[in-house]
Protein backbone atom coordinates (compact mmCIF):
# COMPACT_ATOMS: atom_id res chain seq x y z
CA UNK A 1 0.00 0.00 0.00
CA UNK A 2 1.48 3.29 -1.08
CA UNK A 3 1.50 6.15 1.34
CA UNK A 4 0.23 9.47 0.09
CA UNK A 5 2.64 12.37 0.19
CA UNK A 6 1.91 15.00 2.75
CA UNK A 7 0.65 18.23 1.19
CA UNK A 8 3.69 20.15 2.45
CA UNK A 9 6.03 18.04 0.28
CA UNK A 10 4.20 18.90 -2.93
CA UNK A 11 4.08 22.56 -1.90
CA UNK A 12 7.83 22.51 -1.17
CA UNK A 13 8.54 20.91 -4.54
CA UNK A 14 6.50 23.56 -6.36
CA UNK A 15 8.35 26.29 -4.48
CA UNK A 16 11.69 24.70 -5.31
CA UNK A 17 10.68 24.42 -8.98
CA UNK A 18 9.72 28.10 -9.02
CA UNK A 19 13.08 29.10 -7.48
CA UNK A 20 15.00 26.96 -9.98
CA UNK A 21 13.09 28.39 -12.93
CA UNK A 22 13.84 31.93 -11.70
CA UNK A 23 17.52 31.00 -11.35
CA UNK A 24 17.66 29.54 -14.87
CA UNK A 25 15.86 32.61 -16.26
CA UNK A 26 18.28 34.98 -14.55
CA UNK A 27 21.25 33.01 -15.95
CA UNK A 28 19.78 32.98 -19.46
CA UNK A 29 19.08 36.72 -19.33
CA UNK A 30 22.61 37.59 -18.15
CA UNK A 31 24.28 39.86 -20.73
CA UNK A 32 27.50 37.82 -20.79
CA UNK A 33 25.58 34.57 -21.35
CA UNK A 34 23.54 36.18 -24.13
CA UNK A 35 26.72 37.48 -25.79
CA UNK A 36 28.37 34.05 -25.52
CA UNK A 37 25.33 32.26 -26.95
CA UNK A 38 25.37 34.61 -29.97
CA UNK A 39 29.03 33.81 -30.67
CA UNK A 40 29.92 30.98 -33.08
CA UNK A 41 31.11 28.76 -30.23
CA UNK A 42 27.90 29.34 -28.28
CA UNK A 43 25.75 28.54 -31.31
CA UNK A 44 27.78 25.37 -31.96
CA UNK A 45 27.42 24.21 -28.34
CA UNK A 46 23.70 25.03 -28.45
CA UNK A 47 23.28 22.76 -31.47
CA UNK A 48 25.47 19.99 -29.95
CA UNK A 49 24.43 19.44 -26.31
CA UNK A 50 26.59 16.30 -25.88
CA UNK A 51 29.71 18.29 -26.80
CA UNK A 52 28.62 21.07 -24.44
CA UNK A 53 28.17 18.58 -21.60
CA UNK A 54 31.54 17.02 -22.37
CA UNK A 55 33.27 20.42 -22.34
CA UNK A 56 31.50 21.38 -19.11
CA UNK A 57 32.52 18.12 -17.40
CA UNK A 58 36.10 18.45 -18.65
CA UNK A 59 36.37 22.00 -17.30
CA UNK A 60 34.82 21.00 -13.97
CA UNK A 61 37.04 17.93 -13.52
CA UNK A 62 40.22 19.68 -14.63
CA UNK A 63 39.80 22.54 -12.16
CA UNK A 64 41.32 20.63 -9.22
CA UNK A 65 44.45 19.34 -11.02
CA UNK A 66 45.05 22.76 -12.61
CA UNK A 67 44.64 24.38 -9.19
CA UNK A 68 47.13 21.97 -7.64
CA UNK A 69 49.55 22.60 -10.51
CA UNK A 70 49.32 26.36 -10.05
CA UNK A 71 49.78 25.95 -6.29
CA UNK A 72 52.90 23.85 -6.89
CA UNK A 73 54.21 26.46 -9.35
CA UNK A 74 53.73 29.25 -6.82
CA UNK A 75 55.26 27.24 -3.97
CA UNK A 76 58.19 26.18 -6.14
CA UNK A 77 58.78 29.79 -7.20
CA UNK A 78 58.78 30.88 -3.56
CA UNK A 79 61.14 28.06 -2.67
CA UNK A 80 63.40 29.04 -5.57
CA UNK A 81 63.51 32.58 -4.26
CA UNK A 82 64.51 31.27 -0.84
CA UNK A 83 67.25 28.92 -1.91
CA UNK A 84 67.82 27.89 -5.51
CA UNK A 85 70.99 25.97 -4.83
CA UNK A 86 69.56 24.06 -1.88
CA UNK A 87 66.39 23.15 -3.72
CA UNK A 88 68.22 22.18 -6.89
CA UNK A 89 70.67 20.03 -4.97
CA UNK A 90 67.84 18.32 -3.12
CA UNK A 91 65.88 17.66 -6.30
CA UNK A 92 68.94 16.26 -8.07
CA UNK A 93 69.81 14.06 -5.07
CA UNK A 94 66.30 12.71 -4.67
CA UNK A 95 66.00 12.23 -8.42
CA UNK A 96 69.33 10.39 -8.53
CA UNK A 97 68.34 8.10 -5.68
CA UNK A 98 64.98 7.45 -7.30
CA UNK A 99 66.68 6.64 -10.61
CA UNK A 100 69.08 4.29 -8.81
CA UNK A 101 66.18 2.49 -7.12
CA UNK A 102 64.27 2.17 -10.40
CA UNK A 103 67.33 0.85 -12.23
CA UNK A 104 68.07 -1.68 -9.45
CA UNK A 105 64.45 -2.83 -9.56
CA UNK A 106 64.63 -3.16 -13.33
CA UNK A 107 67.82 -5.20 -13.07
CA UNK A 108 66.17 -7.62 -10.63
CA UNK A 109 63.10 -7.89 -12.85
CA UNK A 110 65.25 -8.50 -15.93
CA UNK A 111 67.25 -11.17 -14.07
CA UNK A 112 64.05 -12.88 -12.96
CA UNK A 113 62.55 -12.72 -16.45
CA UNK A 114 65.69 -14.02 -18.14
CA UNK A 115 65.92 -16.83 -15.56
CA UNK A 116 62.28 -17.73 -16.18
CA UNK A 117 62.79 -17.70 -19.94
CA UNK A 118 65.98 -19.81 -19.64
CA UNK A 119 64.30 -22.38 -17.39
CA UNK A 120 61.28 -22.47 -19.73
CA UNK A 121 63.56 -23.00 -22.73
CA UNK A 122 65.48 -25.83 -21.04
CA UNK A 123 62.24 -27.46 -19.85
CA UNK A 124 60.54 -27.23 -23.24
CA UNK A 125 63.62 -28.50 -25.11
CA UNK A 126 63.99 -31.40 -22.64
CA UNK A 127 60.33 -32.32 -23.06
CA UNK A 128 60.58 -32.13 -26.84
CA UNK A 129 63.72 -34.35 -26.80
CA UNK A 130 61.98 -36.80 -24.47
CA UNK A 131 58.79 -36.99 -26.55
CA UNK A 132 60.53 -36.94 -29.91
CA UNK A 133 63.99 -38.54 -29.47
CA UNK A 134 66.55 -37.84 -32.20
CA UNK A 135 67.11 -40.72 -34.67
126 part of a folded domain: yes
56 part of a folded domain: no
75 part of a folded domain: yes
First to last CA, the chain: 86
Considering only CA atoms, which of 99, 67, 101, 95 is closest in space to residue 87? Answer: 95
11 part of a folded domain: no
Res 135: pLDDT: 75
Res 114: pLDDT: 92
**Number of domains into which the chain is organized:** 1
106 part of a folded domain: yes
5 part of a folded domain: no
H/E stretch holding 80 reads helix 49-131
Considering only CA atoms, which of 67, 45, 68 is closest in space to residue 55? Answer: 45
93 part of a folded domain: yes
Mean pLDDT score across all residues of the chain = 86
Domain interval for residue 70:
66-134
Indicate whether 7 pLDDT > 70. Answer: no
Res 3: pLDDT: 61
Amino acid sequence: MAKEEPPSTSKDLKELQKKLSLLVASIQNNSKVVAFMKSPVGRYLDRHPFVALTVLLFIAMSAVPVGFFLLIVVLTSLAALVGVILLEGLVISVGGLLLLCVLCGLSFVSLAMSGTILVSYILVSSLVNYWFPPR
